[in-house]
A and B are shown apart, each in its own frame.
Chain A
Amino acid sequence: MCGAKAGGPDASTIKPGETTIQGQVTRDGEPVTGYVRLLDSTGEFTAEVPTSATGQFRFYAAEGTWTVRALVPGGTADRTVVVAEKGALAEVAIAV
């Protein structure tokens, strides 16, 4: 999309104090739309969001180890994310 930046949503729009996991889903370097689910350290479903038109997503979570799973037409991909401390921002790029 014209003018869209690579990576997750604009970090200035994060609610103050929130522990955030965000990023972008791409295929061959281009944004792809679909769904992203957040699984906790035991693999249990925690939340799921549709991506934006530019493949971006954001979760407000907590510190700890998480799995972010992208579901898009024709593929899925997992990334492990470690959020070191409360209030931190973890950026994750997912290529499917």
Chain B
Amino acid sequence: MSRSDVLVDADWVEANLDDPNIAIVEVDEDTTAYEKNHIKNAIRIDWTQDLQDPVRRDFIDQAGFEKLLSEKGIANDTLVVLYGGNNNWFASYAYWYFKLYGHENVKLLDGGRKKWELDARELVDEVPVRPATEYKAKPQNTAIRAFRDDVVAAIGSQNLVDVRSPDEFSGKLLAPAHLPQEQSQRPGHVPSARNIPWSKNANDDGTFKSDEELKELYAEEQVDLAKDTIAYCRIGERSALTWFVLHELLGVENVKNYDGSWTEYGSLVGVPIELGANK
């Protein structure tokens, strides 16, 4: 796999945004950002309303994903180009989620909304209408999704990559500094996890670092990519970005994203937790 199979740049999007076979989709942590403005012809997927089961803590099921994409006007052969704020955290999460339900034709806009804005490219407020489709999803591909028992079993044997900030890893904070600090979990990290913050994968403008820089980063942090790897963060969005880097950019095969992440693990009764900085 090469970069061009999974990433497009802003020039490419600008040249192709009127193509009806391409769906440009904005996914943001701030779900109202789209309402202010967005890339021309982009539609919105709301990660809280659209992608989560309304009652249980889990994703919408296969039928729910089919209904969502049909209503959004995305067909099985539509090329989906995802972008968003926060250096593509939630766009990466949506990318991983599309792959989970077997949508192969999906790419990320490198740099996301921030790069687009820093380039002073056009943003509009018109909301496009895409004709409905009859989308067919595949069953979840759990080869890329880790569950809590997978994480407990991986302690000391597989790579566990904790992509949160150093203060969250050490146990000083329970959430990034711009969010409220939930209290239901114990702070800390999964024993044997390496702390490689998501931000080390990206440049200041939100674009990904080069393959060479990324390989060097994981080698320096002593992550043996020949072993199976599980990435986690707080709710699985920042670790989806690291999953994208390892699985899609570097072509590492056995990488899973643990979407339960610290909000689940830190609430489990009886599991081991480690405190303190990266060793």
Contacts and interface: CB of A to CB of B under 8 A. Distances in A.
Interface of A: 34-35, 37-38, 40, 44-50, 59-61, 69, 71-74, 76
Contacts of A50: 85
B57 interface: no
Contacts of B118: 34-35, 71-73
Given A40-B166, A44-B197, A71-B118, 15 more contacts: A34-B117, A34-B118, A35-B114, A37-B204, A45-B165, A46-B165, A47-B176, A48-B87, A48-B178, A59-B177, A71-B205, A72-B118, A73-B118, A73-B119, A76-B204
A48 B86 contact: yes
B207 to A, nearest CB: 12
Contact of B117 (A46, A61, A69, A73): A73
Interface string B189-203: 000000001010000
Residue among B117, B167, B177, B199 with max Cβ neighbours from chain A (10 Å) = B177
A59 B179 CA distance: 11
Question: Most chain-B CB neighbours within 10 Å: which of A34, A46, A60?
Answer: A46
Nearest to B204: A71
A66 to B, nearest CB: 11
Contacts of B87: 48
Interface of B: 85-87, 114, 117-120, 165-167, 176-178, 197, 199, 204-205
22 contacts: A34-B117, A37-B204, A40-B166, A44-B165, A44-B166, A45-B199, A47-B177, A47-B178, A48-B178, A49-B178, A50-B85, A59-B177, A60-B177, A71-B114, A71-B118, A71-B204, A71-B205, A72-B118, A73-B119, A73-B120, A74-B120, A76-B204
Sorted from nearest, which 6 A-B pairs have the closest CB atoms? A45-B199, A73-B120, A47-B177, A47-B178, A73-B118, A46-B177
Contacts of B166: 40, 44
Contacts, number: 43
A37 B256 CA distance: 29
Given A48-B86, A48-B87, A73-B120, A38 B177 contact: yes
Contacts of B197: 44-45
Q: Which of A38, A47, A59 has the largest count of B CB atoms less than 10 A from its CB?
A: A47
B237 to A, nearest CB: 14
Nearest to A72: B118
Nearest to A60: B177
Nearest to B30: A50
Contacts of A59: 177-178
Contacts of A47: 176-178
A82 B229 CA distance: 39
A74 B120 CA distance: 9
Contacts of A76: 204
A87 to B, nearest CB: 16
Given A50-B85, A61-B177, A73-B118, A44 B199 contact: yes
Contacts of B176: 47
Given A45-B197, A45-B199, A48-B86, A69 B204 contact: yes
Contacts of B119: 73
A34 B177 CA distance: 19
